[in-house]
Amino acid sequence: MLLKSPERYLLLLFLSLVPSKIQGQEQIKKYVQTHTVEIKSIQPEANDYADLEAIGRAIDDARVVMLGEQDHGDGVTFLAKTRLIKYLHEKKGFNVLAFEGDFFALNHGWQKVPKEDPRIKNFLSNNIYPTWAKCQQCDGLLYDYIPQTYTTNSPLIIAGFDCQMFGVLSHVALKGYVDEYLQSNQVPFTLSQTYQEFFLPFIGTLLRPQAFIKKSNYLIPDAPVNT
């Protein structure tokens, strides 16, 4: 094959890089084989956490650990994460579990909900995305483990970090909460016609309608219901 000058140089460059690529793959393979630690079980009830200690050592003294998932419908991953959450809580001292969920409902609401088993279960069911709240593989974490921690000296606090308002608490209380806060701080804007006719109704547009929401099941006492 005859090549013009530029193509000839590209071919030489490609041939020179092939050995480097192969060597890099071998290094990665060796590293993975050397540092792999077998996870003995993904079942949440497996309480011998010896196989998770390598993860604990990697975390070291970090204060935040992100737990991802390939797909929101991956039940097997939910089981594995439940066991990992239990390990991080019981052995590494983590005490806040933050969901990709309604910031207002999960943070403000968790402060108000009575820490009693049925109230906790109802709150989580109504204010966490159905992806987790209605998933069988998450039942052990949400409706067994979290309420059980409130019978110990190390309760697990719930929080949220999603700006999408969809939880029952947001639908019931967000508008009244914002209004009460601004009024109590005597913000001059609250006296304007725009505040009453535009701003307060606008808060309702921030709420995501969800067919699964049933306000009649809401069990947070003394929450403002001015909607």
Mean pLDDT, the chain, whole residue set: 84
- Span 72-93, average pLDDT: 93
pLDDT at 211 exceeding the cut of 50:
no
Q: Angle at CA 79, nearest 5°, toward 76 and 84?
A: 125
Which tokens hold the place of 44? Answer: 């949440």
Lowest mean pLDDT among 74-78, 120-124, 136-140, 189-193: 74-78
Which residue did the predictor score with more confidence, 189 or 216?
189
Q: What is the pTM of this model?
A: 0.76
Nearest to 101 by CA among 169, 149, 147: 169
pLDDT range class, residue 31, cuts 50, 70, 90 = confident
Residue with tokens 């606090």: 157
pLDDT for residue 225 is more than 50? no
For position 214, what pLDDT does the model report?
Answer: 46
